[in-house]
Structure 1
Amino acid sequence: MAFLSEVSLQKERFSLLLLEPGEIYFEDFSVFFYPSDLPEEEAIRRRTRGRLKVCSKSIVFDPQDVSQPVVKFPLRECIQIDKWTGPLLSRLGNRGDVIVIQCKQKIEMKANNIIGSYEFKKETTKHLFSLNYVTPDDVLQMMCQLHRASTLPLADEAGMIAAIVYSCYNRTKFNTSWLETLYEQIVMETVGDHITPLVVNPGRIMLTSSRLYFQPFNNVESVPVIKIKLSDIKRLTKRRFLLREVGLEIFCTEGSFKSDMFLAFSKPEDRNKLYKNILAQEGVSLKESAQENMTLLWQNGVISNFDYLLYLNSQADRSFNDLTQYPVFPWVIADYISEELDLTNPETFRDLSKPIGALNPQRLERFKERKVDMPEPKFLYGSHYSTPGYVLYYLLRVAPEYALCLQNGRFDQPDRLFKSVAETWSNVLSLPSDVKELIPEFYQPEMADFLINRSGLNLGVQQDGSKVNRVELPPWADDEVDFCRKCRKALESDHVSNHLHHWIDLIFGYKQRGPEADEADNVFYYLTYEGAVDLDSIKDPNEQASVKVQIMEFGQTPKQLFTKPHPSRFSPAVPVSRHSNNSSPVPVPQPVEEESANERLRSDSDAFTDTHTDTQDLEEDTASAIQRKGSLLSHQWDRMDQLQPACQHKLHKDTVKDVQVSDDGKTVFSVSQDTSLKLYSLEDQRQRRSISISSMPLSSLSAMPDGKTVLVGSWDDSLYLYSIEYGRIVDKLMAHDDAVSALHLQGEVLVTASWDSTVKVWTVEDLCGQSNGTVRLNSVQMTAEFDHETGVSCLDVNGDNSLVLSGTKDGAVYIWDVGSQSVLRSSMSHTGMVHDVKFSPDGKMILSAGEDRFMRVVDVGTGTEVFAKETEHEIRCVCWRENTVLAGSSSGELLVWDMVKAQLTATIPGHDDAISCIQATSDGHTVVTGGTDKKVIVWKVR
């Protein structure tokens, strides 16, 4: 309902909403109107001053006296439009400035400035207008041309109007006197449409070196020229409009989902050219937004369900400026009859895994029976869940002019209006053509006026004799604000948080189309889907107009955002709604514990309120929730942004490839391309051991829990076992056919990776056991081998050794199931080598960093990417503990990421060149890094 703010800005009664949808308003003239049914002298005495507006399908008279109605003369109903001379002795006729409009029907609107159904008067009448500042010759040419066009068949009429429009707009140049400064350089000029709900207003678009201008071809906008400073632009978003990629939305308010301007163009090339040119200007500095990682933020509970749904709508081309693609929200409550709303009872909620049309099994069966006999393309639902008509069905009381525009000047029959929430819910469950979802206003208490008839609209009387006024609320709602507040509370509840991803799959995800949509009973009429029709390829104007009308009437399915199952929500949450005038945070209860990542792999399966006691309750709930979260996050890992180097030493002669801190935090182990293994005592601040393990570079190491033995991987294809106690290599194993690139020892499982394109899993039950004072590799047994297309560069293992994660030289990331010895997921996540991969501490997500400078996080259960960030420098290595990721950059800096908020919280200088490896103690007290500068740095929290 954000677009309603524009209504209050109107200075005149006239607006484009009084015209037919798509009708063009050209220009207007100052006139006097003379009543036609009075003697001339009396008509002159009672004349009315106003503006005569020339439009493509009508002529409209807007009187200054608001007690008089706005009168529209449809051109198709006009008999005569001409210069009027009158009788010989007529005072009016002799002036030569009067035109006459004779019409079989006129439409009167907004008498006494009251919004209501239009009055259609079907009688032949003659109307005289004297022009104040121009002559009839100045206005009649266009009027008569448009009148002639109205007598033609629809296709020819559209063609003739298009020619008139083209000629008129070509004669209109951008008025450069509106430029803000003399120093602006004009970059480009083009023609486009300013899109607001149900209104398409054409004009000239001018881009300069410092501003974007829109100059409408008429004077209907609140200002002559709309100006946007390029430095104010925070976000540019390409949009669809009428299923064509020709829209561009401009946002100047950070984090807002209501844009400052929506423009549409005749063809995609024009849109793309403006988009590219805006980005090329020096004054443009688009804000990096956390919205690109909103899925991760939502999973972690940083943002509310409401804000996440707004985000998904925006990403899927839903806009508050376009009623054909208005944001869609789900029904979540199924109980509208109880005295109290019980949000702890699952029966209170709608099944979010099913579309509205499938909630009633009996009705669904009838849909399926009808589908069987249909020609292709078949569908279940002939109506959609979101159309302009449905949006205005809900918003009638606050947007009556929009409803009148859409419904040819009349309100719908009283019995069909939105008058009861319970009745509407019953209808969407039972009626054969009603499957509509909700709009955001149901979850915004500050927007509750849409349920109240504050304007006193005359909406008629129902068949039972009752007058339609306010919307009847469920018994559990005290008033309209309370109703929306409780709807919001339900939306943010445990139950909805744990099931919302199923609804997202239906509306924005993999169940939106294809076999999955068919299986989920989620198939709509084909014209509602993106790519179903190419309007530009339709040459017949009648057919093209018909398709556009169908798109308007049938609704538009959102752009598909996900082709894999959407991940579920799993973290405690204290989100703050960032998109309202109320800054109070909205507490979200903690969801129930999710199933393990491995089980999910195998199955593949706020409140806003007034300033009274409700706000106080919310603030108290929020304060306690924040306190609970604070106690949970008081761990050392929340202070990683305070890391600083405690000591550093150039221990090696070449790049340090791997480092490890002993469990007691007293010893640092490191291996290097210089073939040496080093042991450094943090207590004594001195090197205790230095041994050349192999004749070739070393890649990886793992110190045994007892601190007496170190396992080392080498480029000579082998694993080496080095005894600290005896100071020598005690055993060697030829593990691969090429260099060992990484190893991971966890419990009794050893996993190794190699440039030979394999990852091997070994059992090492007796590796730490001693026999006659020695430790051997002869007990190591290979239990699994995973083949890749190219060499493996990095690996990780989840907490219970059931899954292995690997990254390759060509950018692929694999998840392997150790039990079944098969690949569970694989994707080309990067361009170039994968530098490092890591499981999250709970095993539910994986992180990868590559040569392409991208860091990506993927949900393990669904394979959906929930975070993607292009960094300034390559990330060479990562360490993930708790909610914190430490990343070593090719710049030598240590990056600290908060993975709950998906934010970079610190960039700490350290190495002189790239950080090549990183490791930390589990308690977070010690972090150690190695780099290509041959240094090992030990970090401590200040």
Structure 2
Amino acid sequence: MDKSRFSMLLLEPGEIYFEDYSCVFKDSESLNEGDSRQGRLKLCSKSLVFEPREWAHPLIKLHFRDCVNISVVHPQTTESPQNVIMIEIKQYAEMLEENILAPYKFKYEKRTFYIFFDFASADETVSQMHQLQRASSLNAPEHNSMVATILHSRYMRMVFDPVMMDDFTEEIVCELQAEKISPLVRHQGKLALTPTTLYFQPFSNVESGLEIYSAEDSAVAHIYLTFQSEDDRDRIYDILEQSSSVHLEKIHAQETTLQWQNGIVSNYDYLMHLNCLADRSKNDLTQYPVFPWVISDYTSSDLDLDNVDVFRDLSKPMGALNPDRLEKLKERYYEMSDPKFMYGSHYSAPGLVLFYLVRKYPEYMLCLQNGRFDHPDRMFNSVKDVYNNCLRNMSDFKELVPEFYDTNAKGDFLVNKYQINFGDRHDGTKVNNVALPPWADSPENFVIKLRKALESEYVSRHLHLWIDLIFGYKQRGEEAIKANNVFHHVCYEGAVDLDDIYDMNDRHALEVQIMEFGQVPKQLFVRPHVRRVTHQIPKALQGDLEENGAVYRIECTHSIQLHKEEVTWALRQGSRVISVGKDGTLKVYDTILKKQIRSVILSATPLSSCVIMDENIVAAGSWDNEIYLYDVDYGRVVESFRAHDDCVSCLLWLDKERLLISGGYDGVVRVWGNAGRTGQALRGLRAEFDHDEKICAITYKRGRHDIDIIAGTSDGEVVVWSLAARAPRHKVAVHSGAVAALCFVGGGHRVASVGADGALSVTDLSVCDSVYHKQLSERAAALCWEGARVLWLGGRGGALLQWDALRAEQAARQPAHHDVINSVYYDEATNTLVTASKDKTVKVWKLISSS
């Protein structure tokens, strides 16, 4: 295998990887004798790491501090090998033998190793090693200073390599020294910014920060950079913000808070949002996102989320949940001299994060603890035991990490999936998977139930109290004292100005203490946080016209009556309005000419829906189980094919993938790849998804590597299918009656739906639960999202309802038709709505912003 086993995680946290060399590693001076291994030698700031080519052999790590002698071996004869160095060492470590992740093997014995370089100069490499060996003999602050000097010297000599660029003629707008951050690892290098691309070139040939999240279809989704100064960071940000090639999404904290308050944003998403605002990132274990314990019952066989007694008191920090322990902590607090603290350990620190995640990221723990795992009895062995310890232990107050609520990962952090030998506990049992509470039958089930608890009514009503403690006004000062929420002063942002500490030893000691102890998040709120409104809004919507909060005024520009029976679907393309109806006809109306330009009877049975496939091709679904393809320009049917065993109820066209998706009353969703190629449609069946009930509506979500097809059924379920895997992701019972219409709203994982039960529901598919459910003043039969803020609902009484997703309320009600509105279509190009009704008319509405 060609893939390297070497990782920066094999180094000490913060250690720098400078160079690597092709070489032969031996324990004999002669190339023809002894154990000879071909591989690569990594030159790092505190050690040398040899990576053999053969995976059966372990990597060997030689610390400079343990080296007795590093010297060039001068050839005895002209036939003797050239470019050889000798390393005498007191002890060394072996790692990843047979490529098995396990604690390092420390060899406490004197050895002499010889390195035969294939290309590098032995004299030059030994000179660099001697420099780093001298640095290793210094205390930590002086060592760091010397390595920083070496690093800066390398940076000044480094030239950005244009081979990295997509186009070597690109002009470099800005070039700076930077570090790319990942957990426990800092990749030093050079950042280059061109008018179109951001490049990072590491110093090796293989914390004023800037975190960049890319669009979903980007090759690199996320990068976390830190610069030498805030000025450098701000300079890069300003260039990115002003670049025409960059479109930065503006996220307003108050807007997101309002969306969360009104149930549009889930509790999970909102906590992730707050962590991000507070500079918490999964790339930085010292400031990892923090989540609360919300469940206190880990002994019952069933988890009853309707029972408030199963929840933790979110108004108190973990250290204050046990009154007896709190009294002892307060006694100690009042006896202290200033600066006082109540808790001698933190709720989030690198060691605590990896305590939870060691099974998922064992290499991080080995890096953090110098090649060793924790004692078996001190590991995360049981959820119940950990929670009880957090309630009783005088030095354990930790909260949770997002992985406890991440349903996508299915609780993988609870499983020893790498089958690592973590050792035996005091009772002889091996450390393996985490023991779950009786109410969870699997890690996935455990996480799903915790996620439902996080999104529950009780937590939604009380989560603002926990936010006050962690991110808000009770985080520090007098309010923190009143709330028994006081930690060691060095963990608060701004409590210690390191720039004012000139003694290198004192500064280093504080830096280590801050990193290892944990850091309180950046304070986001100085007043009590708003509470979330309950899902059941007590007062009903009143009034026939509620225009005061309208986002848009609407004006009818065309009223079209061409069909002899009710119109089932209508859409717009440019100046054309295309509609189908129960009379089996497809009509095309030109809004400029103000007249009908096409009319064709496609079927003797009603037509249910239509989509634009190409500029001129319209696909229409029929009650006779057929899909008809009609060419508007030539005025003829180019193909028809039997798509279902019962009527075709809904259609969807994915232009980017060239896929036609159909839903039928036979309970099947089918994906067609060759629709539009005459006679090829049936051969192009790409996938079919079976359901227990009729398909009433379909929509989709395009992700980074996959497309989700979402179907609404006649029994009120919303079912999510992965197109790539041809398998179901989620199934959620949303409505008590048939799903009438559905669409994605606001991006992310949220889908809005209306049903025969008269409700509007917003379902978070990552939670598999409704985050908003509202009985409408009148039942809706149609639904569409305008792409920014407004949901448009077509009422069964003929009214067009404007629903403000930001405020989670009906903003306006406009009488539009004399009967049921069967479809509402938003055309972004013209900023118009097209409505189709049972009253046989199609109407076009111009949207006019009210602001």
Would you call these one fold, judging by a TM-score over 0.5? Answer: yes
- In the other structure, the counterpart of 1:508 is 471
Task: Say whether 1:546 aligns with 2:509.
Answer: yes
The answer to whether the Cα contact below 8 Å between 1:420 and 1:471 also exists between their aligned partners in 2 is yes
Pick from 111, 135, 143 the counterpart of residue 149 of structure 1: 135
Is the CA contact 1:445–1:607 (under 8 Å) kept in the aligned structure 2?
Answer: no
Three-state SS of the structure 2 residue aligned to 1:317 is coil
Q: Which residue is 1:115 aligned to?
A: 101
Q: 2:731 aligns with which of 608, 616, 641?
A: 616
- 1:413-424 → structure 2 map (5 Å cutoff): 413-424=375-386
The equivalent residue for 1:883 is: 810
2:33 match: 42
Q: Could you tell me which of 14, 18, 24 is aligned with 1:22?
A: 14
SS in 1 for 2:265: coil
Which residue in 2 is equivalent to 1:297? Answer: 259
Provide the residue aligned with 1:5 in structure 2.
Answer: none
Q: 1:62 to 1:621 in 2, by over 3 A?
A: farther
The answer on 1:77 being equivalent to 2:66 is: yes
Q: Aligned partners of 2:274, 2:265: CA distance in 1, in Å? A: 13
In 2 relative to 1, CA 512–170 (structure 1 residues): closer, same or farther, beyond 3 Å? same
- What's the offset of the Cα at 1:142? 0.6
Instruction: Write the deviation string for residues 750-806 of structure 1: whole angstroms up to 9, x where unpaired.
Output: xxxxxxxxxxxxxxxxxxxxxxxxxxxxxxxxxxxxxxxxxxxxxxxxxxxxxxxxx
Question: Does structure 2 retain, via aligned residues, the 8 Å contact 1:324–1:388?
Answer: yes
SS of equivalent residue, structure 2 residue 363: helix
Q: Which moved more, 1:468-477 or 1:211-220?
A: 211-220
Is the CA contact (8 Å cut-off) linking 1:307 and 1:578 kept in structure 2?
Answer: no
Which residue identity is paired with 2:759? K
CA distance in structure 1 between the partners assigned to 2:74 and 2:228 by the alignment: 43
Partner of 2:697: none
SS at match of 1:42: coil
Determine whether 1:570 maps to 2:533: yes
User: Amino acid of the residue matched to residue 632 of structure 1?
Assistant: Q
How far, CA to CA, are the matches of 1:465 and 1:33 in structure 2? Answer: 41
RMSD between aligned residues: 4.0
2: CA distance between counterparts of 1:106 and 1:505? 49
Structure 1 residues 504-561: Cα deviation after superposition (integer angstroms, max 9, x where no partner): 1111111111111111111111111111122233222222222221111111111111
Distance 1:251 1:98, change over 3 A: same
User: 1:277 — aligned with what?
Assistant: 239
The 1-side partners of 2:84 and 2:382 are apart by: 52
Does the Cα contact within 8 Å between 1:444 and 1:608 map onto a contact in 2?
Answer: no
Match of 2:165 in 1: 179
Query: Pairwise mapping of residues 253-264 of structure 1 onto structure 2 (< 5 A)?
Result: 253=215, 260-264=222-226
- Residue-by-residue CA offset, 1:794-842 (whole Å, 9 max, x unaligned): xxxxxxxxxxxxxxxxxxxxxxxxxxxxxxxxxxxxxxxxxxxxxxxxx
Query: CA distance change for structure 1 residues 346 and 139 in 2, over 3 Å: closer, same or farther?
Result: same
Show the counterpart of 1:524.
487
Using the alignment, how far apart are the partners of 1:420 and 1:160 within structure 2? 45
Amino acid at match of 1:32: V
Cα separation, partners in 2 of 1:161 and 1:608, compared to 1, 3 Å: farther
1:52/1:573 CA distance change after superposition, 3 Å: farther
| Distance in structure 1 (CA, Å) of the matches to 2:215 and 2:30 | 58
Q: Which residue of 2 aligns with 1:488?
A: 451
Superposition map of 1:336-355 within 5 A: 336-355=298-317
Amino acid at match of 1:208: T
Asked if the contact 2:406–2:447 (Cα under 8 Å) also holds between the matched residues in 1, the reply is yes
CA contact (8 A) 1:354 1:520 kept: yes
Change (3 A) 1:263 1:885: farther
Counterpart of 1:49, as a letter, is Q
Give the equivalent residue in structure 2 for 1:694.
Answer: none
2:335 match? 373
The answer to whether 1:11 aligns with 2:3 is yes
Aligned: 1:54 with 2:35: no
Instruction: Give the residue type in structure 2 aligned to 1:74.
Output: H
Tell me, yes or no, if structure 1 residue 65 matches structure 2 residue 180: no
Equivalent residue for 1:437? 399
The one-letter code of the counterpart of 2:775 is L
Q: 2:731 aligns to what SS in structure 1?
A: helix
Distance 1:565 1:547 in 2: 32
More deviation, 475-484/548-557:
548-557
In the alignment, what sits opposite 1:224?
none
Give the one of 317, 323, 329 matched to 2:291.
Answer: 329
| AA in 2 matched with 1:82 | S
Once residues 637 and 885 of structure 1 are traced to their aligned partners in structure 2, the CA distance between those partners, rounded to angstroms, is 14
2:775 maps to 632
| Aligned mates of 1:149, 1:188 — CA distance in 2 | 33
CA distance in 2, matches of 1:622, 1:111: 60
Q: TM-score, normalised by structure 1?
A: 0.59
Residue 422 of structure 2 corresponds to which residue in structure 1?
Answer: 459
- Secondary structure in structure 1 of the residue aligned to 2:109: coil
Partner of 1:556: 519
Q: 1:84 to 1:530 in 2, by over 3 A?
A: same
Q: Give the superposition deviation at 1:191.
A: 0.3
- 1:101 alignment partner, SS class: strand
SS of residue paired to 1:306:
helix
CA distance in 1, matches of 2:107, 2:264: 58
Deviation readout 1:118-166 (Å, 9 max, x if unpaired): 1111111100010001221231111111112212333332222222111
Q: Give the deviation of 1:265 after TM superposition.
A: 1.0
In structure 2, the residue matched to 1:196 is 182
**Shift of the alpha carbon at 1:462?**
0.4
- Give the structure 2 partner of residue 358 of structure 1: 320
Residue type at the aligned position of 2:5: R
CA offset at residue 113 of structure 1? 0.5
**Percentage identity across paired residues of the two chains:** 46
Whole-angstrom CA distance in 2 between matches of 1:567 and 1:293: 12
1:310 to 1:154, Cα distance in 2 relative to 1, 3 A: closer
Verify the 8 A CA contact 1:491 1:497 in the aligned structure 2: yes
- Supply the distance in 2 between the matched residues of 1:474 and 1:608 (Cα, whole angstroms): 29
Amino acid at match of 1:47: S
Q: 1:318 aligns with which of 280, 293, 296?
A: 280
Q: Which amino acid aligns with 2:188?
A: P
Could you tell me whether the CA contact under 8 Å between 2:26 and 2:115 is conserved in 1? yes
Separation (CA, whole Å) in 2 of partners of 1:582 and 1:355: 41
1:2-57 deviation per Cα after TM superposition (whole angstroms, max 9, x unaligned): xxxxxxx9931111111111111100100101134x987432xx411011111111
What is the distance in 2 between the residues matched to 1:388 and 1:64? Answer: 33
Return the offset for 1:431. Answer: 0.8
Aligned to 1:852: none
Alpha-carbon distance change, 417 to 626 in structure 1, aligned in 2, over 3 angstroms: farther
Counterpart of 2:119 in 1: which secondary structure? Answer: coil
Which has the larger Rg? 1
Report how far residue 296 of structure 1 moved: 1.1
Name the amino acid aligned to 1:541.
M
The residue that corresponds to 1:533 in the other structure is 496
Deviation string for 1:665-689 (max 9, x for gaps)?
xxxxxxxxxxxxxxxxxxxxxxxxx
Which residue identity is paired with 2:400?
A: L
Distance in 1 separating the partners of 2:271 and 2:497: 29
Q: Is this contact kept in 2: 1:637–1:882, CA < 8 A?
A: no
Instruction: Give the direction of change, closer, same or farther, for the CA distance of 1:586–1:622 in structure 2 (3 Å limit).
Output: farther
Structure 1: state its 5+ residue gaps.
1-8, 221-240, 588-605, 644-856, 858-865, 868-879, 887-902, 910-938
How big is each residue's C-alpha offset from its partner over 1:698-757, in whole Å with a ceiling of 9 and x where there is no partner?
xxxxxxxxxxxxxxxxxxxxxxxxxxxxxxxxxxxxxxxxxxxxxxxxxxxxxxxxxxxx
Asked if structure 2 preserves the Cα contact closer than 8 Å seen for 1:363 and 1:432, the reply is yes
Structure 2 residue matching 1:499: 3-state secondary structure: helix
**2:205 maps to 1:214:** no
Q: Matched residues in 2 for 1:401 and 1:522: separation?
A: 33
